[in-house]
Amino acid sequence: MNTRRALLAAGAAVLAGCNRVPEITGGFTGASPERGHLLRDGLPAGTPSVVRRTQVVIAGGGIAGLAAARALRQRGIEDFVVLDVEDAPGGNSRGGSVAGIACPLGAHYLPAPGDDAPEVQALLEELGLRKRVAGRWINDERHLCHNPQERLFFRGRWQDGLLPMDDVGAATLAQYRRFAQLVDELRGRTRFAIPASVHPWLPEHLQLDTLTFAAWLSRNGLDDAQLRWYLDYCCRDDYGAGLDAVSAWAGLHYFAARHGFHVPGEGAGDGERDAVFTWPEGNGFLSRALAAPLKERFRPARLVRRIAQTRSGVEVDAFDCAARTHERWQAAHCIVALPVFVAARVVENPPAILQRRAAHCRYAPWLVANLHLRAPLDDRPGAALSWDNVIHGAPGLGYVVATHQSLDPRPGPTVLSWYMAPGEAQRGALLQRPWTAWRDAGLAELSVPHPDVAAKCTRIEIARYGHAMAIPRPGTFATAGAPPAAGRLGFAHADWAGYSVFEEAFTLGHRAGLHARQRGTI
């Protein structure tokens, strides 16, 4: 039996051994697949019952769309709207709450941005999260992830950090060192930047984009099971797909663009961790701050179904999912901050680059289950409860503790956010299986280190993302990068970057907002 199956069997056995059937309420929350699928399955017939005018329409209110809105306001353009199919802004970076405890519905952290991301730096400064003192950034500690940050449940114990270390053999350590050396050499030769989308691809990037990360590791003789598990975990955690699927560029970018790869206890970089911003509601903190000034300019429940350039401007047709009516917006410019597979469907006469990008993109589905617990969990021996807690060999990606940033030392109710990237083959199951199936999968996994989880859990709310993010698979660079501007249309979304993180979405959105045309300048 492989580790994953053994672990699931162990979890199921623990659950089956519970004295009482847990009375756990719950259901699905977050993005509505029914609304999004109206584009595919057919919208209620009708013509626009109202025509409205504005300077700029931003289609999509995720981080890219919200960043575009902020840039417009910085330019003094206040006459715009943000149309989003959901009831709340933020897209993949929304926050929620379960039983009154704030928790993430999707993205949950932002590493402190480096000098390649001046736009993100400026945002954090504006929000009071950091400031420059004598040329150096000083982060507000209250918003940085408190220690302990991460631990791994490995061979029946919790260990500090996520790289398997307890009792691994000399051969494993040798491969860790070799990988660390290769990453160091690569960083010495080639620049890896975040955001990547606004920097030119370098010849070595292009070469690394021709093969999978798994193939690159094999080519370099890196076949150790623990190293491979760890790297696969990192890819699934960042990209929603494993090292067999993502490109060598993506697998290496994860380390080379940030902290490198360090074997704990060895080397100059040991113990260095990037400062990470996080909040109880995850990056929902950032999306809420970005959306707050928009007020009625954020138009919820608007499914954008057609974007067309006309002789004098742009026409954007939307379906109001709440009122079930059609509306039309006429504007001088439209920023298309939609996933590219949606953009390719709704933009009339889409530019060739959009068609090519959409044809290349394959999407990772994701699931986030927020479990409310009435009391702290029993724990296995080893490292203390951390912000990020990962179970070696499990199908899921572990859980973050929503109350980790609390300064109240008293133990009490909490919410655990359990993440899973189930793989493309499970997209249909994500839509069709009842919430209780995902409840049971999550409980089975968490029962291994915490046998009392089912007994202490009162409620589970599950957010599903059928098309969460473009997988950075080989060949991405042929179509990814700075998105095009086509006449009165600008484009912005993390899909254009080839992989999805806050810095990419925000920077692309900001730039699209800076370049939007105004009426009178056409």
Residues that bind ligand FAD (CB under 6 A): 36, 39, 59-65, 83-86, 91-93, 106-110, 283, 302-304, 337-339, 342, 346, 366, 368, 465, 468-469, 493-494, 500-502, 505
Instruction: Find the shortest distance in angstroms from Cβ 411 to ligand FAD.
Output: 26
- Tell me the two tokens of residue 339: 């996933």
* Shortest distance (Å) from residue 73 CB to ligand FAD: 17
Choose between 351 and 483: whose C-beta lies nearer to ligand FAD. 483
Q: Which is nearer to ligand FAD, 39 or 211 (CB)?
A: 39
Query: How buried is residue 209: exposed, middle or buried, by Cβ count under 10 Å (0-12/13-18/19+)?
Result: buried
Q: What is the residue whose two structure tokens read 């990237």? A: 421
CA 388 to CA 411: how far, in whole Å? 18
Q: Which residues are paired to 50 by β-bridges?
A: 327
Written in H, E and C, the secondary structure of 372-383 is: EECCCCCCCCEC
Whole-angstrom CA distances from 223 to 246, 253, 310 are: 17, 20, 56
What is the rounded CA–CA span in Å between residue 82 and residue 374?
Answer: 39
* Strands 388-391 and 399-401, bridge-based pairing: antiparallel
Q: CB nearer to ligand FAD: give 337 or 446.
A: 337
Residue whose C-beta lies closest to ligand FAD: 62
Select 164 or 483, whichever has its Cβ closest to ligand FAD.
Answer: 483
Look up residue 236 and give its amino acid.
R
* Count, residues in the chain: 522
Q: Give me the least distance between CB of 417 and ligand FAD, in Å please.
A: 9
C-beta closer to ligand FAD: residue 65 or 451: 65
- CB atoms under 10 Å from CB of 353, counted, come to 16
List Cβ neighbours of 205 (8 Å cut-off, separation of 6 or more). 190, 249, 477
Q: Which is it for the CA torsion 27, 423, 198, 274, positive or negative?
A: positive
Whichever of 176 and 502 has its CB closer to ligand FAD, that residue is: 502
Nearer to ligand FAD, 11 or 422 (CB): 422
Instruction: Report in angstroms how near the CB of residue 496 gets to ligand FAD at its nearest.
Output: 8
Closest separation between CB of residue 69 and ligand FAD, Å? 11
Beta carbon of residue 102, minimum distance to ligand FAD (angstroms, whole number): 15
Min dist. Cβ of residue 396 to ligand FAD (A): 12
